[in-house]
Chain A
Amino acid sequence: MKGRTFKHAMAAHCESGTLTALLNHAGLKISEPMVFGISGGIFFGYFESKKFPFPTFVVRSRPGQIRTALARRIGVKFAERRFRNPADGEKELDRLLSLQIPAACQTDFFYMNYLPGHVRVHINVHFVVVVEKRGEAYIISDCYSPELASLNRDSLMKARFAGGSFAPKGFLFYPVSVPEAIDFRKAVWKGIRSASFYMVKLPMPFLGVKGIRMFAQKVVDWPRLARDTEHLSHEIMKINIFLEDQGTGGAGFRFMYATFLREASELLNDRDLLEMSKRIMEIGDRWREISLFAARIGKRRDLGPDRLRELSGLIHERADAEEIFFKELLAMSKKKK
């Protein structure tokens, strides 16, 4: 892996995209959907807490889990480091680059100033691969950028050592060993089993399919929590952003999961997985309708009780469909593992 020319590629999601790029560079041919699916990245969680200014939801496992679960299931070993002292973090990255070892870094997305200003927000869990150092600038492979980009030292340091929630603390990782033979059948089914289990078997009412139901029930109460119509409209439109815009590959990662199941069906020569792929793709299409519905009513400030009940009904339907889907997938994973 050392000394090879790094091939930049765009990807749907920064964490799975970064992992895919590093593993491809290390000589392991694997696609982004396969990385996502084996890690069991698909998920749903609805959160209301005093810690958050407004209720929110997630559609994937927590940051970092894609890497750790993938490593466990396919046997790849990553070197990982965090730094208390920014100077140490800089020194270590420079050392790796001097050895021609590209490393993934956790950053605050806001400082990726090669991307247009209107898309950049402060979010501390953006992953990029730092490929090379040229003078005082770093060459970055960012899966949201069509080509390799250059970032100055100050911006990269600010991005790697930004404060706040999920502070990166200079976190970096890179693969140090890739097994010669990987039991992909076992890895795929473990990933499927884990994702299905988390979607339908967790007892907490805000996680998995239960979380989708809670979201459906609670969204009709959002007007009570919002400061005014402007605020409510902003929060309702964020449903679209969370499902479509934040590197989800579309429909809250459901399309990426469908691609994973399709690729897995080809790899394992399993027609059942192809059928499941088609079904989650259709489920994703309906999530996309929710995105559009939320974006439309938010934009038009058409946020009366009837509209929110309609939105709630659409989300309830997704909960029903995903409950059936993941229960079947879980049963399949127990039978075929």
Chain B
Amino acid sequence: MNTNAGNELNNEIKLLIMEALTINEVAPEEVGDDDSLFGQDNVLGLDSIDALEIVMALQEKYGVRIDDKNQSRFILRSISTIAEFIGKNRTR
């Protein structure tokens, strides 16, 4: 994946997450590609229910399936880790 395509995918994922979770108070550019999405210091304030919501939104948009909690813990660590997983596994 070239850098431009990578950036584009990262931005697309940020928008998808914000839309799925109806987050209006944070701008996409405030979320760093490598920022931790979960945990106490994350800018989006996400929890485990949001994680499930993101998993389902990613499945619908990119046709990727994240089955279990162990897997999602690593994939949903940051925008970059999600983009890496999508890049390798997307079916749409």
Which residue of B has the minimal Cβ distance to A258? B67
- B26 interfacial contact with A, CB 8 Å: no
Listed in ascending order, the chain A residues whose CB lies under 8 Å from chain B are 10-12, 143-144, 146, 237, 240, 244-245, 247-251, 255-256, 259, 281, 285, 288-289, 291-292, 295-296, 299
State A237–B47 Cα separation when bound (angstroms): 13
Complex contacts, A256 vs chain B, CB 8 Å: 67-68
Across the A-B interface, the 7 shortest Cβ-Cβ residue pairs? A250-B67, A295-B49, A255-B67, A12-B68, A249-B68, A250-B68, A10-B70
CB distance from A193 to the nearest CB of B (A): 25
Complex contacts, B68 vs chain A, CB 8 Å: 12, 247-250, 255-256
- B4 interfacial contact with A, CB 8 Å: no
**CB distance B49 to A299 under 8 Å?**
yes
Complex contacts, B48 vs chain A, CB 8 Å: 245
Which residue of B has the minimal Cβ distance to A284? B67
CB distance from B57 to the nearest CB of A (A): 10
Listed in ascending order, the chain B residues whose CB lies under 8 Å from chain A are 48-49, 52-53, 55-56, 59, 65-70, 74
State A268–B55 Cα separation when bound (angstroms): 32
**CB distance B52 to A295 under 8 Å?**
yes
Q: In the complex, how many residue pairs between chain A and chain B have their CB atoms under 8 Å apart?
A: 47
Q: Which of A237, A250, A255, A292 contacts B53 (CB under 8 A)?
A: A292
Complex contacts, A299 vs chain B, CB 8 Å: 49
Having A143-B70, A255-B67, one finds 15 other A-B pairs with CB under 8 Å, namely A10-B70, A12-B67, A12-B68, A244-B52, A245-B48, A248-B68, A249-B68, A250-B66, A250-B67, A255-B65, A255-B68, A256-B67, A288-B52, A291-B52, A292-B49
Which residue of A has the minimal Cβ distance to B52? A292
State A237–B52 Cα separation when bound (angstroms): 13
**CB distance A249 to B67 under 8 Å?**
yes
Which residue of B has the minimal Cβ distance to A294? B49
State A11–B68 Cα separation when bound (angstroms): 9
Complex contacts, A143 vs chain B, CB 8 Å: 70
State A11–B48 Cα separation when bound (angstroms): 19
State A247–B70 Cα separation when bound (angstroms): 8
Q: Which of A146, A244, A259, A292 contacts B69 (CB under 8 A)?
A: A244
CB distance from B42 to the nearest CB of A (A): 15
